[in-house]
Structures are given as structure tokens and as C-alpha cells.
Amino acid sequence: MTFTVPDLGYAYDALGENISADIMQLHHDKHHQTYVDKLNAAIATYPELADKTIEELLGNLGAVPEAIRGAVRNHGGGHYNHSLFWKVLSPISSGGGGEPSGALLDGIVAKYGSYQAFTDEFSAKALAVFGSGWAWLQPDLSIVTTANQDVPFMNGQPEPVIGLDVWEHAYYLDYKNKRDDYVKAFWNVVDWNFAAQRYAQLTQS
């Protein structure tokens, strides 16, 4: 399998002042493309991996040849994480931001007491990531973080519902060193419709 960078599905400037067109183009076209290029290069000489999905590769790293295991972990993780991240973001004109609804909101309120309390805790954990990494909402509605491009299911956890990239390349052009402003802006462009559908899918499987 040759992996490719998925289309954003919206314009680079669709997230307005929350995440600029310059950031989106650099992040999608350069950073994500680099992960894909290096992942494909790593697996090119191992034909037994040709039919593996990215989920299969990352979910069983022990079965990946040791010579390329680090590359698959780092660049494969980068590919999986960003492919999900683009879907988590929604243009304001398409209803991005706001609050979740239905079963997802009910579950969040039951676990955290309110939507605001949930976003406060998620934001705090995202800000507490040392260096580069991600913050994730899991299907049991717990909030976990990973370093670098690791994904939760590398460690036997399920796939996440949504994730937030807190690598500096995700925000530095817009927010410099102010990660807290970037995390705050993230809530303005979360696609809660996508999150609700993914939550339903992951909790029913």
C-alpha cells in the first residue's frame, strides 16, 4: 500500500483567524507530506507490509521489522494523527465550533459535569504536554496525551474520537509560543458532527 495525504476537504483559509491559511498549507502540504513520504520509503523494501493499513501497522508495531520500526512509529503515527486531525477541524461557515450534542454531549456532561468543565480539563492536559505531542478524547471520554507522533492504540488503547496537535508547527506562525491561545482557538473550529459520528462508531464497534 502506498499511503497518500488526504485532501483537507475545505480551503486553507476556511478556519479564519483561528488557524491561518499559512499554517494550514504548511502543516498539510509540507509536514504531513513529509510523514507520508518517509513512511512509504520505510516500507517500500518490505513487500509483506504492502497490504497493511496504517491502523494495522501502528497497532502491532512488534510485527514491523526492527529496521524500520522507528520510522513506521514516527512517520506512520504522523500520517494517522494528521489524517484524523483534518477531519476534526471544521470551517466556521460549516458549523465548526459550538458544542457537541446527543449521546456525545450526554456522556461528556455525565463524566465532567459540564461541557465547559470538559474543555477546561482537555485544554489543561494539552497545555501540560512537554515538548511535542497530542491530546486525545478517547471513546470512554477519558482524556489522554501522547508524546511526539504516538497514537493511543500503540499501547492497547482504542482509537481516539478527536485529537489536538500541540506540536509547535501546528501553531507557531500564528501564536508564537502562546500554546494556550492556540488551544483556546481550537474549540472554535471543532467539527462536533464528525466527533459525534466517530464516537458512535467507536462505541458500537
pLDDT classification of 205: cutoffs 50, 70, 90? low
Please indicate whether residue 155 or residue 197 has the higher confidence score (pLDDT).
Answer: 197
Q: Does the structure show a pLDDT above 80 at 1?
A: no
| Burial class of 27 by CB neighbour count within 10 A (0 to 12, 13 to 18, 19+) | buried
Residue 165 marked ligand-binding:
yes
Cα Rg of the chain (Å, integer)? 17
Q: Give the DSSP H or E segment for 70.
A: helix 66-71
Residue 27 marked ligand-binding:
yes
Residue of 9, 16, 151 lying closest to 97 (CA atoms) = 16
Residue of 159, 162, 153 lying closest to 186 (CA atoms) = 162
Residue whose C-alpha cell reads 513512511 in the numeric block: 39
Task: Provide the 10 A C-beta neighbour count for residue 89.
Answer: 23
* Domain annotation for the chain: domains and CATH numbers: 21-88 (1.10.287.990), 92-204 (3.55.40.20)
pLDDT classification of 92: cutoffs 50, 70, 90? confident
pTM: 0.97
Q: Could you tell me the CA-to-CA distances from 62 to 49, 67, 128, 202 in Å, in that order?
A: 13, 11, 29, 24
Q: Does the structure show a pLDDT above 80 at 108?
A: yes
Contacts of 8 (CB under 8 A, 6+ apart): 24, 28, 86
Looking at residue 195, its pLDDT comes to: 98
Q: Does the structure show a pLDDT above 90 at 96?
A: no
Residue 82 marked ligand-binding:
yes
Q: Could you tell me the CA-to-CA distances from 11 to 4, 55, 94, 102 in Å, in that order?
A: 19, 27, 12, 29
Q: Is the dihedral of CA 111, 112, 114, 116 positive or negative?
A: negative
Q: 3-class SS at 137?
A: strand
Q: What is the mean pLDDT of residues 47-62?
A: 96
Strand order across the 133-137 sheet? 143-147, 133-137, 162-165
**Total number of residues shown for the chain:** 205
Residue 28 marked ligand-binding:
no
C-alpha–C-alpha distance, residues 148 and 52, integer Å: 23
